Each structure stands twice: as structure tokens, then as C-alpha cells.
Structure 1
Amino acid sequence: MDTEEAPMAGGAAVHVLVFPWPAQGHINPMAHLAVAFAGAGAHVTFLHTDHNLRRLGSAVAAASPRLRFLSVPDGLPDEHPRSVADILEIGRSLATAGRVAYRALLASLLQPQPGGHGGADAGTGAGGGGCFPPVTAVVADGLLTFAIDIAEELGVPALAFRTTSACSVLAYLSVPKLFELGELPFPPGGDLDEPVRGVPGMEGFLRRRDLPSPFRRHGDDHDVGPMLQPVVEHITQSFKQARAVILNTAASLEGPVVAHIAPHARDVYTIGPLHAMSPAPATASAASLWKEDDGCLPWLDARADRSVVYVSLGSLTVISLEQFTEFLSGLVAAGHPFLWVLRPDMVAASQNAAVQEAVRAAAGNSKAAGVVEWARQRDVRRHRAVGCFLTHAGWNSTLEAAVEGIPMVCWPFFADQQTNSRFVGGVWRTGLDMKDVCDRAVVERMVRLAMESGEIRASTQALARQVRRDVAAGGSSARELKRLVGFIGELAMPIQCAAIHDFELLDNSIQS
């Protein structure tokens, strides 16, 4: 969507602070939204943690003179791994050290600021130019409820961005009903294929194994595990406090699900897939925490159309050496060339160099397999040579595959991925759900089916056409984004009127 010349509604000077949870899967869609806001004429401050901003380095050169990058500390030491196992610790630290720095920074942004740096001791920054007006709205990750609360306390309207699928959000919102019906907690040793009641619109469809991974905790009504309760509280609180909830989804994907979510929020905006509505180069440079390897693109250029299996399990998934071996053996047996993204920290208790060598050795031919530590994901997934996508079913990856019409083999790792995988296989029928199985024979069979099934390919192409209509001019997502831009513009008007009133009072006081 080209909004570069479309000013914000009402002619107000709009300045939006965008604050994602500090993980790749959360940063990506919120970076796309930031670019969309800047293209619509708003000034945008994108707030990283200090650790992530240092990690990005010079890559955060501004994509627009109206977009800049600032940061606050996450409260953890530099050497902290910040891995998937540390999510709860990261959240607690952000809610303490990050809260204090965020409040100070946001308070400072209520005054006009230079474009390059925020002017607050709590924040460091890069990018942008000129003068930024006072901040007029905050769009915070739905997990950062303190960011929403503090904004409203300071008189800044706040919106919540849920970066996961709508179907997983609805599952979390349904937790009280699941307890009431006795669906939670799961009994120890219970059948994970047992259907679950209590999630609206998914009765008889969702199984226990399809609910978000924290639901698999055991205990009584007061002990639902160390991960489930905090996430449920975050979602419930952010829905109650925020002026609106933003979802990175489309009507063609999750329209009926969104209808069940809407009564829980003041308003809901479905504006996805955002990556298909935002210019890729400008956004990717400011979003990727990993160094991207473009060397795989010439390798793909040399492959036949739809001949390559692209394998990427995301930025957080960790697998055992045994699981790695099963995946590798199944891929080799499937008989198709494959390109595998293997992060240095992905295979537990092993050396990444040895793992990469095992891929090459098992393939038996350097032309049959490619290995990179991180790829330019969007360019790879849309490459003509890619025939299917073996994925963790993270929401960003699921959306990207939907837009490009790529069949999926889903092996979800955690969080919303279990629910996404079920929808891929059972609702959209654009791929296969391989959750809870890591066996070479199953990998081989499912990869072959995804690569060779005309029925699956036809479903993926049909869905891709519909999603592209959603994001095109006049489509449902494009209209929703325009509505959101208008709402953000309207929010700026009372703040600026109040600021003018305060200035007039001060001026009259001085003159008297």
C-alpha cells in the first residue's frame, strides 16, 4: 500500500511511538506498521531495547525522515542469552527496569524533539531528521501492558498490537470458559487428541494439542503453569485498557475468528498481512536481528521452478541433536533439493559448524542442499524455485507463505504456533500439520506430499489470490489500515488542543 503522499486525517501533527516486545517475530510486523504510519504522514518513534538497537547497529538507518529509532534498557546484562527459555525473565525485567526508563522517555517526548535523538536520558537513538512533534499516540505490543498503562497515565492514547494469530488470541481469551467447562487444566497423561469445547467457532475442531503450548501445563484451577496465567492476564488487561486492538490478519484468513474477538475490545483493526502492505527493503534493514546471507539466492536461481524445500524454524526454535538428525534424514529421503536456515544457537548441545557439515555430507552433493545461518526470508519465500516450506508455523511465516501461495509442512514449537498449524492443515488446507512428531519417515512423507500434491497447491494459490485482494487498494485490510490511520489522526487533535490551551494559560500568566 503506497501511503507516502497520504497525510494523516484532520491535519494534526501526528507522532506515534511504536514499542514491540524485543523478539524478532514481534519486531517484524510492528516495523512494517511503523513504515506504513510514516508513509501516511505521521512521525514515528520505533522503540527497541538497548541490547537490540546495539545488535542492529548501522542497519537502523532511517527508512524515512519521519521514522527514527530509540531505545530503553531491558534490565538484563549484556552477556545474557535472551533465549526462548528466558521469556519470563525478560518480561519481568522489562516490567521493572524497562518501565522506569520508558516512563521517563515518553514524558520527554511530550515536548517537541530533534529527529535524531530523543532528548531523554533513558533513551538512545538513531535515524530520522528534523523536528519531531510531541507524541500523540502509543502503539504497544499487547504483551507490554505497562507501556499501555503508563501512556494513558501520561495522557497519551494507547493501542495494543497483538502480533500473533487471531485464532490463538481467541484461545487465550477463552481460558475462563475452558476452566468453567473443565477443559483446563489437562489431566496428567490425558489424550492430546481429545476435542476441546469452549473456544467459540472452534467447537469440535480444536484438540488439546492444537491449543497454544502453555495450555499443556498440569495442575488445579489455581496452578495453570508458569506461562499460561501471565499471558492470559496480559491479553485481558491490554484489551481492557487499550483504545483499540490491532491484529496482523485479514478477513479472508480469520474473519469469523475476529468477530468473536471484537466484543472483548473497544475496537479491532485487521490490517494484515502487513509485510505485503509495506516496502520490504526499508523495513527489513531496521528489523532483522540476524545478519542475512544473500548467498543462497544465486543457489536458488540455479534450481528448477518449485523444486526446493525451504526449511526455517524461526528465530527462537531450539531442537535436539536427535530431532535434527530425524529432520535431516527425512529431507534427504524425500529426494528434493533443500535450503535450510540453521541458526548458530538452534541445535542444542552441538557445534553449528558440525551440524552444517552433516547437512552437506548427508545430501551427498553440495548442489542438493544449501545451508545458511539466516536468510532474507521474504526474498527466499517468494523465489520461483521454492516448492514448499517446512516451518515452525510462526504467524509471520504463516502469513508470508499465504501471500506467496507456498504449501507448508508445519512443525510448531511453542506459543501460538500449535493453533496456527491446525488452521493451516484443517481450515485453509494449505499444508500439513506435523505437530508433536519428529520422525524421519513422517518428514519424508509429508515433504513429498506438500511438494507434489496438486490439491494442496490449488488451495494455496486460491488463498493467496484472496489475501492479495485483501491488501490491494480497496481490499478489506487496506480499508482497515486507512481507518486506523484516520483514528490515529483523530487521537492527536485533543492532545494538541490541550497543549495549545496550556500554552495560552502560561502566556496569560506571564503577561499578567
Structure 2
Amino acid sequence: MLNLAELLSLSGLAVTFLNSDHNHRRLLQYTDVSARFAQYPGFQFQTISDGLAADHPRSGLRLMEMFDAMSSNSRPLLKDLLVESRQPVNCIIGDGIMGWVIDVADEVKIPVIHFRTIGACCFWIYFCIPEVIRAKELPMRVSSISELGIVLKNEEKEDMDRLITTVPGMETFLRLRDLPSSCRVSDNTTNLGFQLFMNETQRSLRVNALILNTFEELEEPILSQIRTKFSNIYTIGPLHLHLKTRLIGSNTTTSFNQSSNSFWEVDRSCIAWLDKQPPRSVIYVSFGSIATLTREQLMEFWHGLVNSKQRFLWVIRPDSLVGLDRERESLEEERGYIVGWAPQEEVLAHRAVGGFLTHSGWNSTLESVVAGQPMICWPCFGDQRVNSRFVGEVWKLGLDMKDHVCDRKVVKNMVNDLMVERREEFVKSTDRMAKLATKSVSDGGFSSYNLNRLIEHIRLMNVRAQDK
């Protein structure tokens, strides 16, 4: 969202970035966003409450509490802000998973554009879920779920490799195990998480346009399917690369490597460590900003990395594991380096890095694509299961580890496959996709063209609002 806001600000649009009080405090604590956006005269930050207590963890495991609180608490606050705004608001770009923004916009008669921060592949699956249910390919025959897996009923077994044939464009490779984690329920009529993602995606049919952080060369077959339902789509990604490309041609003072949109304190000591390592010798390990590990999982990854004999840089957030601080010293190893948070884009672009062991979040996936880094995908929840399938099976940019238990032997073998045995194979495919990403955001590329179209679309809304 911040990357998109800066791209629009660069074009001369007046942008108000509305964030929760909690998130904005985190940004101010760990980033330079205030100084960075001060160079855009038409830009301003505003905040509203998300309705949660200050000590609420706001974690992925308590996602529904966050959505419920925002829907009930933030909805009236947003309406008041729009009504009382001194500067006329001609367009709202809303996170597409918060459909209640459409209701508020309808009340105050302001057009809405949805921005979905997941990939086109997962968006399309969410959109097609009603048809999957009608075809009786869902719900799953399960009794309960855990964060990273499922527990099957004793009397019936589910074939997790069963193909899902009712998502157009994915009939030949999308398996039950590849569906988003919200689909891992035995009763789709009562599970609130399942209903949320399905219903909110359907509500995007009501908006003025749809923005996706992807590029045509990466997801064109799926984008073609989405366009059968949505006539006005703007594919303008990868946003972080698009922003960097346009900043180079402007007079702004942003330092690409020093800037951050992180909710965690960046430890830049890892860059000095990487500077001392041979080219493409380090595998970078990070499971994102939300996922947590059990102690058993952490130790299996640690043993697998150590036994692979490869160098590794591992991000272990302060909240990744309860009691981690007492164990951090025991995890130190001569070939490895551990930090609480890393400047990921800079790390992935470093000459010493040769692979990425990732949770397959969409931002991490795109950042790896842009940097030309092959991936080992260990998805945790949400859209990550879909992304990992596309990385491994469709785009051939790495290995999908979700088919395996978290085991040190599996980790060791996959790290060696990625970094040694199949290295040339993956380097060839990742280099090709990285070049296509760069081409897309350059002058004449599809993403660059679509961003220009989006900017003109918003300006036209402004003209129409003034005419009224």
C-alpha cells in the first residue's frame, strides 16, 4: 500500500494514506516514512482506531478478531473522516479484503477501487470457491485444522492430491493441498474465515476497478480468466521494482537500500556479513512478519541447514518462538548468521545470496522473482499454499516443500538441490523471469502502461467530481 501511495504521489496526485493507529506507531518507530513522504506536497498520513486493545497481538492466528473489530469500529470512523474531510475525496483505493469500505463509500457516494495484495492466482481461486462448492469439490472431509496442517477423521481419509477441476486455468495442477488455508474446513457454511475470503472477493464485482500487484508475463493465463469477470483491471507490479524504477527517473531523495516499510527493527549487520561471503553461496531464510514456529520446527530447520553444509542467513523475529532469546546463542553456527529482521530486498539482491527459503508470502515471492533468486517454499497459511504451487509447478522457479513434513533430512536435501544439484536449472529460469519483471515496469512495459492508465483513470474521476 505504501509503495502504491508513493507511485501515485510521484504522479502529482494528492494522496491521503489511512492507517490504523497501531500500525502507524510501528511504522514511525522503525522506518523513515514521515521524512520520505514529506517530499510530496499533496501527501498526508491519517489514522483511525482498529478497535482492538493495545496489547492485542494482531497475529494471523487471530485474523477474524481483527476483521470483526475493524468492521464494527473502523467503519463509522471512516465515514466521519470522509464526510468531514477539508479536501474533497474523489476516489478511495481500499484493501480488497475489507469489503465494508464499499458500503461506506456507497453511503458518501465516492467511487472505490480495490487493491488486492495477494497474487492473481489466489484471488482467482477465492473468486471461484462458490463454483468449487457447487461441484462438491469442497468442503474437505476433515474434523479440525491446525495452523500448518489438518487432522483427518478416523473413519474417512481425504486425498490431498485430488485435483480441483473447477477453477478455470488450473484444472491440471491445482490439488486439494494447494488451496488457501481458509479452505481447510469441514463445514464451509459456518466457518467465518472461509466465508470472509470467499464473500469479500465476490464483493470486488461492485467496485470501479481492480488493482493487482503482479505483472502480465508472470500470471497472464490466470489474468485472462479474471478478465472474463472483471473488465477493468490494472496489473502494475512488481510494485517495489516499479517504484524504484520511477524514482530513478525523478528528483526525489529516497535511498533505496536504507528505506523500509517494516514493522520490525532492521538489523543491517547482516549486510556486512554477506559482504564477506562468496558469490551465490548463502541461502537466505525468512518466514515473514507473522508466521511462528514451534521449537521442534525451528530445530528441524536448524539441523537441516547445518547438515547441508551451506552458508545461511536466517531471520528469526523476536516473537517467532516463545523463549527464543534464551536459545539464540545455541543456534549460532560458523556457516550461519541470525538476525531479528533483515532488509529483505537488499539481501535478495546481494551477490552472496543464491537462494531463498521462504514462507511464500506474495511480497516475498515477488521480491525473490525480481532478484532472480530460486526459492524453497514452506507455506504457513493464507495464500502461501497457492503461491508455492505456482513457484514449483507452474513457473519452475524453485521447490515446493509443503508436500513434506518439517524434517531435517528434507530441509538438507532441498537446500542442496537448490544450491548445488539443480542450481543451473533454477538460475536459468529465475534470471529469465527477473528480466521479464524489469521489462514490465520499464517504459513501454505492460505494468508501466497500466500504471499510467490507472493515474489517468483517477484524474478522470477528479474531473467528473468537479463537474458535479
2:219 counterpart letter in structure 1: E
- 1:259 counterpart residue number: 224
Question: How far does residue 287 in structure 1 lie from its aligned partner after superposition?
Answer: 2.4
- 2:11 counterpart residue number: 40
Cα contact 2:95–2:114 (8 A) shared by 1: yes
| Structure index of larger Rg | 1
Question: How far does residue 285 in structure 1 lie from its aligned partner after superposition?
Answer: 4.6
The 2-side partners of 1:164 and 1:139 are apart by: 15
Question: How far does residue 466 in structure 1 lie from its aligned partner after superposition?
Answer: 1.2
- 2:167 counterpart residue number: 199
The 2-side partners of 1:301 and 1:450 are apart by: 21
- 1:373 counterpart residue number: 340
Report whether the alignment pairs 1:289 with 2:256. Answer: no
Q: 2:302 aligns with which of 321, 328, 353?
A: 328
- 1:302 counterpart residue number: 276
Cα contact 1:411–1:433 (8 A) shared by 2: yes
2:291 counterpart letter in structure 1: T
- 2:237 counterpart residue number: 272
- 1:503 counterpart residue number: none
Counterpart secondary structure, 2:15? strand
Flag structure 2 segments of 5+ consecutive residues without an equivalent: 143-156, 248-253
Question: How far does residue 67 in structure 1 lie from its aligned partner after superposition?
Answer: 2.1
- 1:20 counterpart residue number: none
- 2:150 counterpart residue number: none
Q: 1:411 to 1:80 in 2, by over 3 A?
A: same
Report whether the alignment pairs 1:391 with 2:358. Answer: yes
Question: How far does residue 149 in structure 1 lie from its aligned partner after superposition?
Answer: 2.2
1:320 counterpart letter in structure 2: T
Flag structure 1 segments of 5+ consecutive residues without an equivalent: 1-29, 113-133, 499-512
Matches within 5 A, 1:341-490: 341-347=315-321, 350-360=322-332, 363=333, 365=334, 368-436=335-403, 437-452=405-420, 453=422, 454-490=424-460
1:356 counterpart letter in structure 2: R
1:87 counterpart letter in structure 2: L
Question: How far does residue 266 in structure 1 lie from its aligned partner after superposition?
Answer: 4.1
- 1:83 counterpart residue number: 59
The 1-side partners of 2:431 and 2:459 are apart by: 37
Matches within 5 A, 1:106-145: 106-109=82-85, 111-112=86-87, 134-145=88-99
TM-score, normalized by length of structure 2?
A: 0.91
Question: How far does residue 195 in structure 1 lie from its aligned partner after superposition?
Answer: 1.3
Counterpart secondary structure, 1:264? coil
The 2-side partners of 1:91 and 1:303 are apart by: 44
Cα contact 2:132–2:167 (8 A) shared by 1: yes
State the aligned residue count.
Answer: 437
The 1-side partners of 2:464 and 2:260 are apart by: 32
Q: CA RMSD in A?
A: 1.5
The 2-side partners of 1:335 and 1:157 are apart by: 55
- 1:222 counterpart residue number: 189
Structure 1 runs (4+) deviating above 6 angstroms are none
- 1:234 counterpart residue number: 200
Counterpart secondary structure, 2:314? strand
1:298 counterpart letter in structure 2: A
Q: 1:339 to 1:464 in 2, by over 3 A?
A: same
- 2:48 counterpart residue number: 72
The 1-side partners of 2:415 and 2:460 are apart by: 49
The 1-side partners of 2:179 and 2:388 are apart by: 10
Counterpart secondary structure, 2:202? helix
Question: How far does residue 282 in structure 1 lie from its aligned partner after superposition?
Answer: 6.8
CA shift digits 1:477-496 (9 cap, x unpaired): 11111111111111111112
Cα contact 1:163–1:248 (8 A) shared by 2: yes
Counterpart secondary structure, 2:417? helix
- 1:244 counterpart residue number: 209
Question: How far does residue 265 in structure 1 lie from its aligned partner after superposition?
Answer: 2.4
Question: How far does residue 471 in structure 1 lie from its aligned partner after superposition?
Answer: 1.2
Q: Bigger shift: 456-465 or 143-152?
A: 143-152
Percentage identity across aligned positions? 41
The 2-side partners of 1:266 and 1:429 are apart by: 30
- 1:15 counterpart residue number: none
Report whether the alignment pairs 1:60 with 2:29. Answer: no
Counterpart secondary structure, 1:263? coil
2:78 counterpart letter in structure 1: Y
2:355 counterpart letter in structure 1: C
Counterpart secondary structure, 2:379? coil
Q: 1:181 aligns with which of 118, 135, 140?
A: 135
Question: How far does residue 342 in structure 1 lie from its aligned partner after superposition?
Answer: 0.5
The 2-side partners of 1:216 and 1:346 are apart by: 24
CA shift digits 1:465-508 (9 cap, x unpaired): 1111111111011111111111111111111222xxxxxxxxxx
CA shift digits 1:7-45 (9 cap, x unpaired): xxxxxxxxxxxxxxxxxxxxxxx1111000000110111
1:262 counterpart letter in structure 2: R
2:330 counterpart letter in structure 1: A
